[in-house]
Amino acid sequence: MKTLATLEPLTTRLLEIQRINSASSVLSWDQETYMPAGGGAARAEQIAVLQGLAHQKLVSPDIEQLLSQWVDPATGQAAEQPRDLWDEPSRSLLREVWRDFSRAKKLPSDFVMTVSRECSLAQQVWAEAKEQNTFARFLPNLRTVLSLKRQEAQYLGYTDSPYNALLDVYEPGSTIAALQPVFTQLKARLVPLLRRITESHVRIDDSILRHSYDQTRQLEFGRLVLTAMGYDFERGRLDLSAHPFTTSFHPTDVRVTTRVYERELQSCLFSCIHEGGHGLYDQGLDQRHFGTPLGDSVSLGIHESQSRLWENCVGRSRAFWRFFYPVLQQTFHNQLQGVDVERFYAAINCVKPSFIRVEADELTYNLHIMLRFEIEQDLIEGKVQPEDLPALWNQKMKEYLGITPTSDAEGVLQDVHWSFGAFGYFPTYTLGNLYSVQFFEQAKLEISRLEESIAAGQLLELRRWLEQKIHRWGRMFTPDHLARRVTGTTISPDPFLSYVEKKYGEIYQL
């Protein structure tokens, strides 16, 4: 039987490409954290050169010749029959390398460099526009990026909608047709639940979250929680950025960022936990396979499931705060004295429409995603133009959440994604919500007394379970296959909906 050793000539070349991509990622991380404002134009050129070089190496004749020895060029399947001539890791690696190669081959290298350059510049302008609260400042760059992404969809080819070509990049195999029934089911049960909560006699006072909280102490508490989760600070960092994110250069160097506001305790607290979930995934990838698909995350939906599992299933649970609330109370004694854990638990789970997606509650969060999902499709299909976005955004916020942003910064400019060309990314956030509950429910079945361990501040057993079940496999399995391996079933809205109906039914006495 042929094993990964057979593919060493291929994996050696892939490792070289990954090292170039990692160097590019370091530059991008620095751009979002410490780079002086004046360095933007030069940085865009540096990143573009590295991205172009990595692309050229991936689509080189050497890679194509190696692949053609082992893979059917039309299907990506191992060319030799019977299939059991190859072990499963080798078949998976060949399948995923072919997927990456065949997609990259459709994109000219000069186009890849142009996209990289323009997106790098657009990110910097977006940050300025958001700070200045002026969409017009960002509009020219957005027009350029959108035009390039429309062109990319044409290069890649698609069925039904050009948006499908971009969606497939982030969630392999996903399409509008596959997502719409899921979103429809969610909306059909979430909207009535939200209405019942709104009409409930229970009123939750979450004003305690908006007292004055020292920013340095907020960061210290965030580091404490990350350490308890198992995030390894010998292989990672916590820094500040305009929009929280996680980036990985290697499983031994995974970095997370947060943002901190004096009068918004939840912002730093839950972004640390959320990004920590991403960071644990990247630190848990198998180092032996670095540079190959087996050392890479399977999809953004699965990646997001890890952050949402930690942020919501763990971080917003009663069990978690039985241990961590006394620590938080000691850290902010003046602000939280006399506030018992039940009042705090209710405050962090208060349901109400809000403008900012990353700070939305578990119920309204998915409505934020539906809004963006619809707008993205229309943008890519040319039904909406960039200049229409502020008015359209506000219209849909009113339709979905019953509120209207009063500024571009809390409206159309709040997310960084479109600046770096990540059209097709947003739906993975909802998929992550659904996967997260399925995985957590399975963890509770397999880990004895898990919730009691969480209540004792012992989080490492859950982290180890996730690493063994999900992280270490990389792209060995497709997202659907991985979900079936872990939970016995494919993705479904039902576990998530049952979870929120039970949790919020109790909180709001429905």
**Cβ distance 120 to 44 under 8 Å?**
yes
Residue 327 identity (one-letter amino acid) = V
pTM of the model: 0.95
Does residue 281 lie in a domain region?
A: yes
Residues 6+ apart with CB under 8 A from 4: 11, 87, 89, 90, 93
Q: Name which of 135, 132, 22, 118 is nearest 420 in CA terms.
A: 118
* pLDDT at residue number 502: 97
CA 359, CA 350: separation in Å to the nearest integer? 11
Shared domain check, 102 and 204 = no
Tell me the pLDDT band of 430, cut-offs 50, 70 and 90: very high
Q: Which of 32, 96, 118, 275 is catalytic?
A: 275
CA 432, CA 409: separation in Å to the nearest integer? 25
pLDDT digits (tens, 9 = 90+) for 217-227: 999 999 999 99
Instruction: Give the count of domains, the chain.
Output: 2
Does residue 162 lie in a domain region?
A: no
**Cβ count near 219 (within 10 Å):** 17
Indicate whether 78 pLDDT > 90: no
Shared domain check, 187 and 151 = no
Token pair for residue 119? Answer: 């997106």
Does residue 117 lie in a domain region?
A: yes
Indicate whether 500 pLDDT > 90: yes
Token pair for residue 145? Answer: 């990026």
Does residue 148 lie in a domain region?
A: yes
Tell me the pLDDT band of 77, cut-offs 50, 70 and 90: confident
Supply the range of the domain harboring residue 68: 4-157
Q: Name which of 319, 220, 345, 240 is nearest 29 in CA terms.
A: 240
* pLDDT at residue number 448: 96
pLDDT digits (tens, 9 = 90+) for 364-410: 999 999 999 999 999 999 999 999 999 999 999 999 999 999 999 99
Tell me the pLDDT band of 193, cut-offs 50, 70 and 90: very high
How many helices and strands, by DSSP H and E, does the chain display?
A: 21, 3
Indicate whether 243 pLDDT > 90: no
* pLDDT at residue number 85: 85
Does residue 128 lie in a domain region?
A: yes
Q: How many residues does the chain have?
A: 510
Higher pLDDT among residues 431 and 74, named by residue: 431
Tell me the pLDDT band of 1, cut-offs 50, 70 and 90: confident
pLDDT digits (tens, 9 = 90+) for 280-300: 999 999 999 999 999 999 999
* pLDDT at residue number 73: 78
Shared domain check, 210 and 93 = no
Shared domain check, 191 and 147 = no
Q: Please report, for the domain that includes residue 378, its CATH number.
A: 1.10.1370.30
Cα distances (angstroms) measured from residue 453 to each of 177, 278, 460, 461, 471: 41, 22, 9, 8, 21
Shared domain check, 318 and 462 = yes
Shared domain check, 354 and 281 = yes
Phi, psi (5° rounding) for residue 237? -140, 160
For the question of residue 275 being annotated catalytic, the response is yes
Last residue of a domain, one of 157, 187, 214: 157
* pLDDT at residue number 84: 67
Place of tokens 């190859």: 86
Last residue of a domain, one of 93, 125, 157: 157
Residues 6+ apart with CB under 8 A from 91: 78, 83
* pLDDT at residue number 83: 58
* pLDDT at residue number 81: 60
Q: Name which of 410, 426, 423 is nearest 130 in CA terms.
A: 410
Last residue of a domain, one of 157, 187, 208: 157
Shared domain check, 482 and 368 = yes
Does residue 167 lie in a domain region?
A: no
CA 401, CA 234: separation in Å to the nearest integer? 42
Average pLDDT over all residues of the chain: 96
CA 325, CA 451: separation in Å to the nearest integer? 16
Shared domain check, 197 and 96 = no
* pLDDT at residue number 302: 98
DSSP labels, 278-332? HHHHHHTS-GGGTTSGGGS-S-HHHHHHHHHIIIIIITTSHHHHHHHHHHHHHHT
In which order are the strands placed within the sheet that holds 246-250?
Answer: 236-240, 253-258, 246-250
SS3 255: strand
Shared domain check, 313 and 191 = yes
Shared domain check, 180 and 127 = no
* pLDDT at residue number 72: 83
Shared domain check, 203 and 79 = no
pLDDT digits (tens, 9 = 90+) for 139-182: 999 999 999 999 999 999 999 999 999 999 999 999 999 999 99
Shared domain check, 187 and 152 = no
Does residue 164 lie in a domain region?
A: no
Does residue 163 lie in a domain region?
A: no
